Amino acid sequence: MRKRVVVIGGGAAGMYAAIAAAEEGSEVILLEKNEKLGKKLFITGKGRCNLTNNCDTQTVLQNVCTNRKFLYSALGSCTSADVMTFFEEEGMRLKTERGGRVFPASDHSSDVIRTLEKRLRTLGVEVLLDTEASGIGLQERADEDTGQGGQTNVKKGKKRPARFITGVYRKDGSFLEADAVVVATGGCSYPQTGSTGDGYRFALSCGHEVSKPVPALVPLVTRETWVRELMGLSLRNVEVKLGQMQEQGTDICGKPWYEGFGEMLFTHFGVSGPLMLSASSFVTGRIPQEGLRLLIDLKPALTREQLDARLLRDFEENKNRIFKNSLDALLPAKMIPVVVRLSGIRPDTPVNGITRQEREGLVRLLKDFPLTIIGTRGFQEAIITKGGVDIKGIRPRDMSSKYVEGLYFAGEVLDVDALTGGFNLQIAWATGKAAGAGAAGMSSDRQTYILT
């Protein structure tokens, strides 16, 4: 008999899971609570969808921030090359940009969604829009050799979970029978796209643990409110360090939690831009009350000595000017009043009156421009969610639950996340494919535990 697979969530992971399950011969029903598929996909990559990264699996793994090892198998069986081949064979041309970022040649994310929809149609997947799943149907196994009270006894060496899937409850009260269910409901970020954390509730009801979801790839909030003066200023080619605050002074205590080079942006509440979004993934959920120290090297191409020599030269060339009017060649105009204030040097000091000590202090400020990070912005502004369904309860080969037979998870609902560059979607495709194929009963892992 044909197996019936219900996939909850019509995002990247859910659509790919539905395709994989249908390709393996299952009858597939895809539930999406929105009026259309791929609402989040549509806004990815600023509407262009950076759908993967043109690199080898090792590089993809290096860009994974949480539970890298867990993803070895899925990312190894569904590589970025496989994803690119899939889209190209479906007739969508691709292009690779800086840093290996892959986009549709058209620059339209809608082409990605259209391509997936076309494949779903060809395979006969039944797509139910405006259909919200409200719960998972479970049944206790009557088998002698399973555990009591719905508990899995995997730990005791018996491979069959004590409970199995019967189907999915819909919000309208109806019940959809299924042999297998893939939960691909996403995380909590950009909730207006439909990702409102429903999958965590489903996972908990099935005995899974959920690591606290926190916003990631998200702008950072600073204690210094004067950043507002710098709002809109983008700094290219700066080096940053983020770590624990020293009790005294403005340095970082111990090893930095994040170090990076690139572009950042000042906002009315703090800092954002690619560099700061990446930094957020290393600190979100663990920012202490006193805050974290962010140090920005505004002149990373120059050593302290070179910068000091450069200042001396600039001051020599501007010897008839006062300090506040002497930094035009060194800094963006918006930054000058702030640097002048923080330097402690009187703005109207003639440059030839600046002492060596004051100049050294200025070099320190330009090489280690300090800010205090006191939090992140919320899920509304977070590109992804860190945290989610604990991978302890999931088999890495096919994303199946160790606690409920026939239950699978895919995409951002899992406690996995990566940096920007197409890596998060690559995780969604790879875990989607593993879960879909697993749910269709083709994964060797699944066969093992069904047969034992």
Ligand X SMILES: Cc1cc2nc3c(=O)[nH]c(=O)nc-3n(C[C@H](O)[C@H](O)[C@H](O)COP(=O)(O)OP(=O)(O)OC[C@H]3O[C@@H](n4cnc5c(N)ncnc54)[C@H](O)[C@@H]3O)c2cc1C
Angle between helices 12-23 and 109-122 (to 10 degrees): 30
Is-contact 149 438, C-beta < 8 A? no
Q: Choose the binding region for ligand X from 138-146, 189-197, 243-251, 399-407 (rule: CB under 6 A).
A: 189-197
Q: Sketch the per residue contact string, 104 through 143, with ligand X: x for CB under 6 A, - otherwise.
A: ----------------------------xx----------
| 215 counts as binding ligand X under rule CB under 6 A | no
Q: Which of 5, 216, 287, 383 binds ligand X (CB under 6 A)?
A: 383
Distance CA 246, CA 242 (A): 12
| 200 counts as binding ligand X under rule CB under 6 A | no
Distance CA 16, CA 437 (A): 10
From residue 411, give the alpha-carbon distance in Å to each of 13, 123, 221, 270, 437.
5, 21, 28, 30, 14
| 195 counts as binding ligand X under rule CB under 6 A | yes
From residue 389, give the alpha-carbon distance in Å to each of 32, 200, 392, 398, 410.
20, 6, 9, 15, 10
Q: Choose the binding region for ligand X from 119-127, 154-162, 349-357, 422-430 (rule: CB under 6 A).
A: 422-430
Q: Which of 27, 111, 179, 198 binds ligand X (CB under 6 A)?
A: 198
Q: Choose the binding region for ligand X from 38-46, 85-93, 261-269, 331-339 (rule: CB under 6 A).
A: 38-46
Is-contact 440 3, C-beta < 8 A? yes
Partnered with residue 4 across adjacent β-strands are 27
Q: List strand residue ranges (DSSP E) for 24-162, in order.
A: 27-31, 52-53, 64-66, 94-96, 101-104, 126-128, 133-140
Q: Which of 271, 296, 384, 394 binds ligand X (CB under 6 A)?
A: 384
Is-contact 411 74, C-beta < 8 A? no
Q: Which CB atom, from 183 or from 354, has the smaller least distance to ligand X?
A: 183
Q: Which of 39, 160, 241, 395 binds ligand X (CB under 6 A)?
A: 39
| 275 counts as binding ligand X under rule CB under 6 A | no
Q: Choose the binding region for ligand X from 92-100, 179-187, 275-283, 362-370 (rule: CB under 6 A).
A: 179-187
From residue 341, give the alpha-carbon distance in Å to each of 232, 255, 307, 337, 449.
20, 29, 19, 6, 67
| 221 counts as binding ligand X under rule CB under 6 A | no
| 14 counts as binding ligand X under rule CB under 6 A | yes
Is-contact 34 130, C-beta < 8 A? yes
Q: Which CB atom, from 79 or from 195, has the smaller least distance to ligand X?
A: 195
Which are the contacts of 396, defined by CB distance < 8 A and separation ≥ 6? 70, 71, 72, 73, 74
Q: Which of 23, 43, 332, 361 binds ligand X (CB under 6 A)?
A: 43
Q: Choose the binding region for ligand X from 88-96, 264-272, 326-334, 416-424 (rule: CB under 6 A).
A: 416-424
Q: Which of 424, 429, 438, 441 binds ligand X (CB under 6 A)?
A: 424
CB of residue 247 to ligand X, shortest distance in Å: 38
Distance CA 165, CA 136 (A): 7
CB of residue 383 to ligand X, shortest distance in Å: 4
Q: Which of the residues 17 through 36 are near ligand X (CB under 6 A)?
A: 31-34
User: ∠316-322-326 over CA atoms, to 5°?
Assistant: 55
Dihedral sign (CA 354, 359, 360, 361): positive
Binding site for ligand X (CB under 6 A): 8-14, 31-34, 39-41, 43-45, 49-50, 132-133, 184-186, 189-190, 194-195, 198, 383-384, 411-412, 422-425, 428
